[in-house]
Amino acid sequence: MSERWLLIEIGNTHAKFAVGSDGRIGRRRVRVPTGTLNAATLELASARFRFDRAILCSVVPRASRHVHRSFGAALLEVSASCDLGFSLAGYRQTKTIGADRLANLAGALAAGVKLPLVAVDAGTATTFDVLDRALCFRGGVIAPGPEMFTDYLHTCAAQLPMVNVNPRRPPPVLGQSTGAAIAAAAVHGFRGMAREILGEIRTTLGVSNLNIVLAGGAADWIDPAPADALMRDPDLTLRGMLAIAHRNG
């Protein structure tokens, strides 16, 4: 029987736990607010699973320290020093690449996305990362997530309200209230930003269409061109973590 890996994905907002083996991820998920992660919450979350080893993918170093103390030598952490299944040879500062971005690219390959590909993860930040036909990481873009469009205005402007926006029902571009005007900027502005970034990636790669995999809680906000080949994978990061675990275990 193959090793069962506890997958620990720590994002800016939540930490997610699952178990994977033989290329498959179990259905059970445990989510913990990242700010509450400590030895006790780690123990409670991991007790929900049976596993042999653990792999960590984190973008929050202070939370990572709790995981390292709890798991010690039994822990593998996603980093540029791992065997990822693709090359970082053309990237100057490999140690600065976020572990989530590396896992997303590994997940895209594991999901069978054709090359060249773009892995887009829309969360607190929205990342666009590119693998070319030679399996080489070409770099990427890190942009604000959709909530930053509304949260920042509310935080920094005394009279602007907090606005909740449903991207599946985009508002008119000309808002008839302050809240509607903010919502219009959030939806149309974010979609326009993403569309422009993807367009520039097409130009840089010299292709007419892209193979895109979308992940993250704000994936519905991304609106690729009709010619692009699109896959949605809410488990993209976890899938990449499991692929990296198998390559390095």
CATH number for the domain spanning 138: value is 3.30.420.40
**184 in any annotated domain:** yes
Judged against a pLDDT cut of 90, whether residue 160 lies above it is answered with: no
**124 in any annotated domain:** yes
| Residue 120, both tokens | 């887009």
pLDDT in tens, 54-102: 999 999 999 999 999 999 888 999 999 999 999 999 888 899 999 999 9
Q: What is the mean pLDDT of the chain?
A: 92
**72 in any annotated domain:** no
Other C-beta atoms closer than 10 Å to the C-beta of 232 total 12
Q: What are phi and psi of 126, to 5 degrees?
A: -115, 120
**93 in any annotated domain:** no
**214 in any annotated domain:** yes
For residue 181, what are the domain limits? 112-232
**97 in any annotated domain:** no
Is pTM beyond 0.75? Reply is yes
What is the model's pLDDT at position 212?
97
Whether 235 is catalytic: no
Given the residues 100, 121, 233, 235, the one annotated as active site = 100
Query: What domain count does the chain have?
Result: 1
Spatial CA neighbour of 103 closest among 242, 248, 247, 249: 242
**90 in any annotated domain:** no
Spatial neighbors of 95 by CB under 8 A, at least 6 apart, are: 79, 80
